[in-house]
Structure 1
Amino acid sequence: MGNKLSGKDLIKLGFPKNNSINIALGQINRYRKKEKKESILNEAKEVLLAPEKFKMHGTWGKVAEGLVNPVQVKLHQLNNTRAPFSIFGENEIDEQAKFQLYDALKLPIAVSGALMPDAHSGYGLPIGGVLATNNAVIPYGVGVDIGCRMSLSVFDLPASFLKGKDHQLQAILKDNTKFGMNETHATKADHEVFYRNEFQEIPMVKQLLDKAYKQLGTSGGGNHFVEFGIVKLDQTLPEWKLQPGEYIAVLSHSGSRGLGANIAKHYTYLATKQCPLPKNVQHLAWLDLNTHDGQEYWLAMNLAGDYAKACHDDIHRRIAKALGKRTVFTIENHHNFAWKELVNGNECIVHRKGATPAAKGQLGIIPGSMTAPGFIVMGKGNEASLNSASHGAGRLFSRAKCKAKFTQSDIKKVLKDNDVHLIGGGIDEAPMAYKNIHTVMELQSELVDVLGTFAPKIVRMDK
């Protein structure tokens, strides 16, 4: 008996000559290759005799599914007509983004969709795209940065606190924030999210535990940031315990780091293998939530979302500690995620890829740019937008166009004119890269009410 398991070994046990053998070999070679062949074969016998017992098992769940209810792999054709949709701020949105939504609305699983006024083209769903589907989740409809989110913490410190403390606050950001692929905190923090069952029961997620632990409390590159600024509250809620006025606040924007990126990559690959689509829409491959992979992705996606929140919580904890002050309240929201929500009375999977949840009474934060204000908002629960709003101002120029169009001196002038200090940041994130946030907010007045604003003053980004 050779050491490496083969398809013939499984056929000898009695496995049918179908895709379940390929599935089994793929799972074993990926996650159990260090184990003895004999013990794996003994386990395989148990799976063959009682596959129902192994439903949702980390290694054997997909094999059991292949034995009980084989997934039929077939080319899916798009519908001839689109599912219902709404576009907000149509004149501000590029044609490619619209056509990406139109394609998504022709998927056999599509129920309805919407496009937010900050929308621009992306992979799969456009950024600023919202899509409700029937019992299926599209990994690229969620996005690569699962759980990318905003978090705003407000301190009971008047705006005047900033005066004369520029260097102190810059040092706090430099010492307590980490960005990009390689920076991590010297003193690591623990968190309850690391003790979740998913980190033990889903093999590919288990492999990411060390990376997740090392990256807790760090931010990604690109448009991710942590910044000090001034919140102006036009009106307040009783639970905020602050009068209308101007206060010091910290705003952060980041997601689930390497954990989310690897989950997205893995399940996007599985989706494209199980759900072949015409080439122009292959990024919209979905996972049926009745399948092993669909259920597993749903668990992994929610874990990544909770991990993203844990990262923000750790960032804000570190900054508050360095500042020597407690936060009075925090407003936070995902804008790359999928939720189970009712649409026209039926439960659907609502994907928001670069869109803020805006159900009636729901709080959120919509940033502008490093020189433009962000907005504290309360959702109006507009069903036409699938209870959504924009996730920011939206890009006017791509990263490549920014590098060709702007210089560092252009950026320095705009920063100086707006009294903003920038630590890090590249030309591709120039303030001029973004749409006018005031225009975007006007175009979604029927989606959200504005409760206050956030003006950035000291901005920290990746180098």
Structure 2
Amino acid sequence: MVTGKDLLALGLRPGKWFKAALEHINAYNLEGEALAAYLDTVKPAPQIPLLEKPVPFHENISADTSVEQANIDYVKQSMQQLMRTPTVVTGAIMPDACPAGPLGTIPVGGVVVARNAIHPGMHSADICCSVMLTILGKVEPKSVLDAAQRITHFGPGGRLPELQFKLPEEIEAEFQANPFLNSLRSLNLARAHLGTQGDGNHFLYVGISRNTGDTVLVTHHGSRGVGAALYTQGMKVAERFRQAISLETAPQNAWIPSESVEGEQYWAALQTVRKWTKQNHLCLHETIGSQLGAAVQQRYWNEHNFVFRDGDLFYHAKGATPLDPKFMPDITGPRIIPLNMAQPILIVEGTTTETNLGFAPHGAGRNLSRTRHKYSKIGQTKEDLFAEETQGIDARFFFNQIDISELPSAYKDAEDVKRQIVHFNLATTIDEIRPYGCIMAGDWEQDAPWRKKKLAKEAARLTADDSQADCSAL
């Protein structure tokens, strides 16, 4: 009788397939050449190892300070590890590049091209994070910002049922037809999160065109809970493939073979989430314009967190703006690159070059994490920092709680990023939307129960320490 130990002795990798194989082998008393021939039909494919050397990638970034250099060094180390992933054929980093996880994780401002593979970890949970722009003519900008504050929705969760926008039937039908999207949870998220912007660096910005003097509305957000749910499922499927075909690959770089059934379904799901995200922006833009009675002069958008396809090549852009028309089937205008709340939004055009791979930066990026930036401002109040850094603009936080990790100083120097865009021939600026004001979520967790509990616990600990100190002094 053949046992699992016998299969291990033959150098076969154990797995769920052992049980069925052993039943078949022993039922038919297979041995010798017959056994070998059968095992060749059922044993797992050989594991795919990491590449011996990292695939070279293009560096469209430079440093002026030691902090910037440290940031770039970490990004480059991360890319060098990532570029040993077996599917990868080329990559690039942009001037806004900054770390986004442990070494080997695609950085923000990174582009990685893979053959016949979709890597969910390389588009991240914020699938299709994007910007939409609407030109509203000579409307008074304060009226736009005031209307937007009444209409938009920041923070966790979705809209109340009576305030929800209608999910278009075409998009709902695509959700129901795709196994990655047709759960009741995903459908409920698609309805409740429509017309919401989330938190973090997402914003609603009102400014004035340098070229025309027109008032312009720009929103920045992604697919919210809809995309996060798809990302979670995608990572689970990619991990199953990783376990089967490439254990040496880091979990964050696991992939779904694009030609597999799962790969085709996941690609279709990404396109549906893209449609949903565009509709998410449209709900806000159309409602704000309608409430103001403003005629739309022009409207366009672009994502910067997505996977783009060109034949058997999949371009994973984690915070990189697509320039090449082949990446965007619904182009209606140039591209949009925001920098920070106090700086103009760049309107750019560009072409594919050898070093940019058809992409430009998506913003200013960070040199320090949110936490490290907050520590760097110890000794200054949030109110003083806010007043200092938002002079001349109408900056608002939806929850009336200042988030200093979203103030301009939290980001790379905008002028330096603009210089690098020119230096590395990444894009040409054809207009700037100069800031009137913006809305961001703000520190909505400041009064959260978990934070209050943590602060109370810390206060109790300090009180206990003080009591012990008083007792020891007696």
TM-score range, shorter chain: 0.7 to 0.9
> Of the candidates 291, 294, 315, which is equivalent to residue 322 of structure 1?
291
CA deviation after TM superposition for structure 1 residue 223, in Å: 0.6
Supply the distance in 1 between the matched residues of 2:273 and 2:373 (Cα, whole angstroms). 31
Give 1:271's aligned residue.
Answer: 238
8 Å contact from structure 1 (residues 359, 382) kept in 2: no
CA deviation after TM superposition for structure 1 residue 304, in Å: 1.2
Q: Which moved more, 1:177-186 or 1:79-88?
A: 177-186
Q: TM-score when scaled to structure 2?
A: 0.74
> Of the candidates 45, 51, 64, which is equivalent to residue 79 of structure 1?
51
Give 1:175's aligned residue.
Answer: 150
CA deviation after TM superposition for structure 1 residue 206, in Å: 3.2
CA deviation after TM superposition for structure 1 residue 257, in Å: 0.7
> Greater CA radius of gyration, 1 or 2?
2
Instruction: Report the CA distance shift for 1:267/1:120 in structure 2 as closer, same or farther (over 3 A).
Output: same
Give 1:398's aligned residue.
Answer: 369
Give 1:150's aligned residue.
Answer: 131
8 Å contact from structure 1 (residues 151, 333) kept in 2: yes
Give 1:356's aligned residue.
Answer: 321
Instruction: Report the CA distance shift for 1:20/1:215 in structure 2 as closer, same or farther (over 3 A).
Output: farther
Secondary structure at the counterpart of residue 368 of structure 1:
coil
- Unaligned 5+ runs, structure 2: 1-13, 20-40, 326-330, 443-474
Secondary structure at the counterpart of residue 155 of structure 2:
coil
> Of the candidates 159, 162, 165, which is equivalent to residue 189 of structure 1?
165
> Of the candidates 319, 335, 338, which is equivalent to residue 367 of structure 1?
338
CA deviation after TM superposition for structure 1 residue 197, in Å: 2.9
Instruction: Report the CA distance shift for 1:299/1:20 in structure 2 as closer, same or farther (over 3 A).
Output: farther
Supply the distance in 1 between the matched residues of 2:17 and 2:345 (Cα, whole angstroms). 51
CA deviation after TM superposition for structure 1 residue 129, in Å: 0.6
CA deviation after TM superposition for structure 1 residue 203, in Å: 5.6
> Of the candidates 265, 280, 287, which is equivalent to residue 296 of structure 1?
265
Could you tell me which amino acid in structure 1 is paired with residue 107 of structure 2?
P
CA deviation after TM superposition for structure 1 residue 423, in Å: 2.7
Give 1:414's aligned residue.
Answer: 388
Give 1:453's aligned residue.
Answer: 432
Supply the distance in 1 between the matched residues of 2:88 and 2:155 (Cα, whole angstroms). 35
Supply the distance in 2 between the matched residues of 1:218 and 1:118 (Cα, whole angstroms). 26
Give 1:141's aligned residue.
Answer: 122
Aligned residues: 380
8 Å contact from structure 2 (residues 125, 227) kept in 1: yes
Supply the distance in 2 between the matched residues of 1:90 and 1:80 (Cα, whole angstroms). 27
> Of the candidates 62, 82, 93, which is equivalent to residue 90 of structure 1?
62
Secondary structure at the counterpart of residue 338 of structure 1:
strand
Instruction: Report the CA distance shift for 1:20/1:223 in structure 2 as closer, same or farther (over 3 A).
Output: farther
CA RMSD of aligned residues (A): 2.6
Supply the distance in 2 between the matched residues of 1:359 and 1:102 (Cα, whole angstroms). 25
8 Å contact from structure 1 (residues 402, 430) kept in 2: no
CA deviation after TM superposition for structure 1 residue 153, in Å: 0.8
Secondary structure at the counterpart of residue 210 of structure 2:
strand
CA deviation after TM superposition for structure 1 residue 447, in Å: 1.5
8 Å contact from structure 2 (residues 49, 249) kept in 1: no
Supply the distance in 2 between the matched residues of 1:199 and 1:134 (Cα, whole angstroms). 29
CA deviation after TM superposition for structure 1 residue 385, in Å: 1.2
CA deviation after TM superposition for structure 1 residue 19, in Å: 4.7
> Of the candidates 436, 443, 459, which is equivalent to residue 413 of structure 2?
436
CA deviation after TM superposition for structure 1 residue 76, in Å: 4.1
8 Å contact from structure 2 (residues 175, 181) kept in 1: no
The alignment-based identity, stated in percent, is 27
2:119 aligned with 1:119: no
Instruction: Report the CA distance shift for 1:73/1:222 in structure 2 as closer, same or farther (over 3 A).
Output: farther
CA deviation after TM superposition for structure 1 residue 438, in Å: 2.1
Give 1:249's aligned residue.
Answer: 216
CA deviation after TM superposition for structure 1 residue 188, in Å: 2.3
Supply the distance in 1 between the matched residues of 2:18 and 2:337 (Cα, whole angstroms). 48
CA deviation after TM superposition for structure 1 residue 359, in Å: 1.8
Supply the distance in 1 between the matched residues of 2:99 and 2:45 (Cα, whole angstroms). 29
Cα-to-partner distance string for 1:397-444 (whole Å, 9 max, x where unaligned): 211113223341243223442333223351221211001122112212
Q: TM-score when scaled to structure 1?
A: 0.76
Question: Which contiguous aligned blocks of 4+ residues in structure 1 show a shift greater than 6 angstroms?
Answer: none
Supply the distance in 2 between the matched residues of 1:392 and 1:21 (Cα, whole angstroms). 51
Supply the distance in 1 between the matched residues of 2:18 and 2:171 (Cα, whole angstroms). 33
8 Å contact from structure 1 (residues 120, 128) kept in 2: yes
CA deviation after TM superposition for structure 1 residue 204, in Å: 4.7
Supply the distance in 2 between the matched residues of 1:312 and 1:193 (Cα, whole angstroms). 17
Supply the distance in 1 between the matched residues of 2:45 and 2:225 (Cα, whole angstroms). 30
Supply the distance in 2 between the matched residues of 1:194 and 1:415 (Cα, whole angstroms). 41
Cα-to-partner distance string for 1:268-317 (whole Å, 9 max, x where unaligned): 12212321466783211111112122222111111111111110011101
CA deviation after TM superposition for structure 1 residue 383, in Å: 3.0
Instruction: Report the CA distance shift for 1:139/1:74 in structure 2 as closer, same or farther (over 3 A).
Output: farther
Supply the distance in 2 between the matched residues of 1:271 and 1:280 (Cα, whole angstroms). 11
Give 2:112's aligned residue.
Answer: 131
Supply the distance in 2 between the matched residues of 1:389 and 1:438 (Cα, whole angstroms). 16
Instruction: Report the CA distance shift for 1:215/1:442 in structure 2 as closer, same or farther (over 3 A).
Output: same
8 Å contact from structure 2 (residues 200, 441) kept in 1: yes
Cα-to-partner distance string for 1:46-73 (whole Å, 9 max, x where unaligned): xxxxxxxxxxxxxxxxxxxxxxx98947
Q: Which moved more, 1:430-439 or 1:181-190?
A: 181-190
2:345 aligned with 1:380: no
Instruction: Report the CA distance shift for 1:231/1:80 in structure 2 as closer, same or farther (over 3 A).
Output: same
Cα-to-partner distance string for 1:329-363 (whole Å, 9 max, x where unaligned): 11210101111126xxxx41111010000127972
- Unaligned 5+ runs, structure 1: 1-16, 23-68, 234-244
Give 1:285's aligned residue.
Answer: 254
Instruction: Report the CA distance shift for 1:441/1:257 in structure 2 as closer, same or farther (over 3 A).
Output: same
8 Å contact from structure 2 (residues 175, 187) kept in 1: no
Could you tell me which amino acid in structure 2 is paired with residue 384 of structure 1?
T
CA deviation after TM superposition for structure 1 residue 78, in Å: 1.7
